[in-house]
Amino acid sequence: MASLTHFQQGDSSEDMLASIRSDGACIIDSVISPESVARLRGETDPYMEATRDGQDDFTGRSTTRTGGLVGRSPACRELIQHADILELCDGFLLEYCERYQLHLGQIIRIRPGEKAQSIHRDRWAWGTHLAHVEPQLNTIWALTDFTAENGATRVVPGSTRWEDTRKAKAEEIAAAEMALGSLLLYTGSVFHGGGQNSSPHDRIGLNITYSLGWLRQEENQYLSTPPHQARDLNSDLQQLIGYSMGQYALGYFTPPGAPGESADIADPQDAVRSSSGAFETVGSPESLRNLEERIAGKPSPCDP
């Protein structure tokens, strides 16, 4: 039977990254306390209870998916910015981008009687175009215990380089069993899916995922947390959800207004800064030089 490696908080992030790279997934046990989970549940349960089941077999007809968590829950905001997770994102994603971003935040409640979700890759959100990079790193925080019986995520360790069409055999699939407050980490390339819930209780997980800053986000953060709400967030979180330049020329905006009223090429961060309404022009000789140096330092694919 397949299995996933378990780590403890404080274990070496290099070892965790090695496990994520080889297996595509690992578990970190008991990262947050039952009290922290209770606080988070207190903030988000009213939204979860009001969420309707999915409309198809993939999203799950007995599964609820609740989003907008950046705007709705301070406790979720803290987990999105958890320093240990961002350190792993640095190690895993910055190989392919200058900046990564929040891809989605979603509470997934698998209710009793739900069938197993089909095994899939999350990177298929962008079709099958991204086999040459690792476009995302994902977490599912256990807000209840995760057991094979109640729908623990099913993961296929070592499947990151499989052909898209390969089907996992039963013995290749591991159940991500973990206690409340623990965390499953998995890549956009590893095959996985929600499990069947044959228990009498809900299985609840908080899915927080991060993607390369030059890709479209699965949850449209600008609509889920529009500028008037994003203004109240700390600056790092504003940038993480997308109010930032993805890289030198990526993501600028033009503030609406009369001719000459403000810069025409503005940084999205200016739109959510609480202190000033001024828009600075994006770009500077220094940032251009940085980009040129990065390009010059990169070996060409044609180099022998």
Ligand X SMILES: O=C(O)CCC(=O)C(=O)O
Binding site for ligand X (CB under 6 A): 108, 117, 122, 140, 153, 192-194, 205
Residue with smaller CB distance to ligand X, 17 or 119: 119
Residue with smaller CB distance to ligand X, 148 or 263: 148
Q: How far is the CB of 34 from ligand X (least distance, A)?
A: 20
**β-pair partners for 146:** 178
Q: How far is the CB of 171 from ligand X (least distance, A)?
A: 20
Q: How far is the CB of 140 from ligand X (least distance, A)?
A: 6
Residue with smaller CB distance to ligand X, 64 or 225: 64
Q: Report phi then psi at 107, rounded to 5.
A: -90, 120
Amino acid at 108: I
Distance CA 101, CA 285 (A): 25
Residue with smaller CB distance to ligand X, 193 or 213: 193
* Residue 265 and residue 252 in contact, taking contact as beta carbons nearer than 8 Å: yes
Measured at the alpha carbon of residue 218, what is the angle toward residues 212 and 224, in degrees to the nearest 5?
110
| Residue 63 burial (CB count, 10 A) | 22
CA-based R_g, the chain, Å? 20
Q: How far is the CB of 125 from ligand X (least distance, A)?
A: 9
Residue with smaller CB distance to ligand X, 157 or 193: 193
Distance CA 275, CA 255 (A): 17
Q: How far is the CB of 153 from ligand X (least distance, A)?
A: 3
Distance CA 175, CA 151 (A): 8
Q: How far is the CB of 117 from ligand X (least distance, A)?
A: 6
Q: Report phi then psi at 301, rounded to 5.
A: -60, -20
Q: How far is the CB of 54 from ligand X (least distance, A)?
A: 9
Whole-angstrom CA distances from 238 to 41, 77, 229, 270 are 23, 11, 10, 11
Residue with smaller CB distance to ligand X, 59 or 247: 59
Query: Can you read off the two tokens belonging to residue 178?
Result: 């973990």
3-state DSSP assignment of residue 165: coil
Residue with smaller CB distance to ligand X, 20 or 266: 20
